[in-house]
Structure 1
Amino acid sequence: MNITYLIGSVMATGFILLGMMFTSVDGAMTVVPSQVANFFDPSSIMITVGCTLAVVIASFPAKMLKSMPKHFKIMLNTKKFNPMYYIEELTELATVARKNGLLALEEKANQQQDPFFKQAIMLIVDANDPDKVRGILNNDIECMSCRHDDVAGMYEKASSVAPAFGMVGTLVGLINMLKNMNMDAGGSSSIGTDMGTALITTLYGCILAHMVFNPIASNLRSRDEEEVLCKMIIVEGITSIQAGENPKFLKEKLLTFMAQKQRDASMTTGKGKKSKD
């Protein structure tokens, strides 16, 4: 579970609600919960939230939009990709290959739940050219990363659109206020409402951009970097096994993908375990 995202989101929501409640009464700061209602404005919601969602829907294919629940699941799961698991598995595969040959890895491949890992093993079991194996696997990584970039880009698009519609709402509120500034006809009664809409839409735009969409995009890019790292380890490990490298040397080489602290931890904790989705 992505604890930092949840903690940050809750803290940001809490702080902004407290800020809305604080007011000065007789020179003393007081919390007035009822003031939160001042920041609810249907017109602002329709302009900022509604238009932002509409532009995102218009800008991206239905297939990507339907996958939004999946995006949240990926974003919240920080333990899906465990590099140490793959390093240990590749070291074990190298040991089996040196003892029994590459054909003995076919059984190990069928036990893998990761499709990419299984494909990589089968490519060397089928005695493909090493350069072709590396090329196929690297192309898979590049295409995957492009797809992930498109997904993160969708939330970044929403992050850039929300403040823009916040400004649109501000203009709408100001226009209505100026149109209704006929004091003789009693138009001054709507000035407060129109000005409130003008300001609240900007607030909604900032909240959507910086408290909702930006954190989602950042977390999705982090998950992509973690997955790419694991797949790079697989590519390097598989090609090294095909070249017949020593298992101990292979492990040392793959550990160079990790930070020094993680390398030291691997020496004391033993075999890594793959986290469940």
Structure 2
Amino acid sequence: MKLDKISILGLLLGIVAIVGGQVLEGGHISSLVQPTAFLIVIGGTAGAVMLQSRLPDFIAGVKLLQWVFVPPRHDFHQLLNVLVNWGQQARRGGLLALEAYVSGERDPFVRRGLQMLVDGAEPELIRRSLELDIDAYEERARAAAKIWEAAGGYAPTIGIIGAVMGLIHVMENLTDPSKLGAGIAVAFVATIYGVGSANLIFLPISSKLKHHIGSEARRREMLLEGLVTIANGENPRLLENKLAGFLH
């Protein structure tokens, strides 16, 4: 498990820049802490995202959040070495020599491809089957990541709703000056929460998840090409040259 330091640094830098700017302007940090505005923006945004999403996509999107700080490991050089080794094993002992690797493989995608290879499936059948798996994976994963993109779209608008609600509260209490400050604070802080959460949190999370999803899809494509090449009985050296493009 390896933390993505740039994600943590970026989040901290964004928060520190805003809070630091508030302090440098002579304001108080406590002025930015408004539970009412937080409830309106975050609760309203979550509700809007849930309304537009399917439950499985919403749950999957929340689970994907961990990838922002603990991204999946994609070592293409190591994968190339594994595929070349499988090619050499199959070259020497036939495809059945790879059966020992099937049971020890944790990745369902790899295990399925290896099993088809050991079972003697035609290369074109292996390709079509694994391509369908990749397409299905990308569709599911990108639908899950889109909940954060949607949150980035809704949050600023919900922030404006919070601002209007705060101004309504101010108008209702014009005769009571003691309540005017709280209403105005909620109005402006709700806007900050909406715009800030969208551009500092939700949209960057969506972009980072899409990057990791694309990287995982490329890893699967590399596996697909490697397994099909092995199924065709091609020389492991040709396999290595063929897959070298994935390393870049």
TM-score (normalised: structure 2) = 0.91
**CA separation in 2, counterparts of 1:40 and 1:79?**
34
Amino acid at match of 2:6: T
**CA separation in 2, counterparts of 1:103 and 1:43?**
64
3-state DSSP class of the match of 1:256?
helix
- 1:111 pairs, out of 100, 104, 107, with 104
**Structure 1: runs of 5+ lacking an equivalent:** 25-31, 260-277
Amino acid at match of 2:10: G
RMSD over aligned Cα atoms: 1.9
3-state DSSP class of the match of 2:73?
coil
- Is the contact between residue 155 and residue 216 of structure 1 (CA under 8 Å) also seen in structure 2? yes
Q: Encode CA deviations 1:23-63: one digit per residue, 9 max, x unaligned.
A: 35xxxxxxx6xx01112223312221221122223333444
Q: Encode CA deviations 1:91-112: one digit per residue, 9 max, x unaligned.
A: 0111111111112111122232
What residue in structure 1 maps to residue 8 of structure 2?
A: 6
- 2:199 pairs, out of 192, 205, 210, with 210
TM-score (normalised: structure 1) = 0.82
**Does residue 138 of the first structure (1) align with residue 127 of the second (2)?**
no
What residue in structure 1 maps to residue 161 of structure 2?
A: 168
- Give, in angstroms, the shift of residue 68 of structure 1: 5.4
Aligned residue pairs, count? 246
What residue in structure 1 maps to residue 43 of structure 2?
A: 50
What residue in structure 2 maps to residue 264 of structure 1?
A: none
What residue in structure 2 maps to residue 263 of structure 1?
A: none
- Give, in angstroms, the shift of residue 147 of structure 1: 0.7
**Sequence identity, in percent?**
26
What are the residue-to-residue correspondences of 1:14-93 with 2, within 5 Å?
14-23=16-25, 35-67=28-60, 70-93=63-86
- Is the contact between residue 5 and residue 215 of structure 1 (CA under 8 Å) also seen in structure 2? no
- Structure possessing the higher radius of gyration over alpha carbons: 1
- Give, in angstroms, the shift of residue 70 of structure 1: 3.0
- Give, in angstroms, the shift of residue 132 of structure 1: 1.4
**CA separation in 2, counterparts of 1:218 and 1:4?**
14
What residue in structure 2 maps to residue 232 of structure 1?
A: 221
**Structure 2: runs of 5+ lacking an equivalent:** none
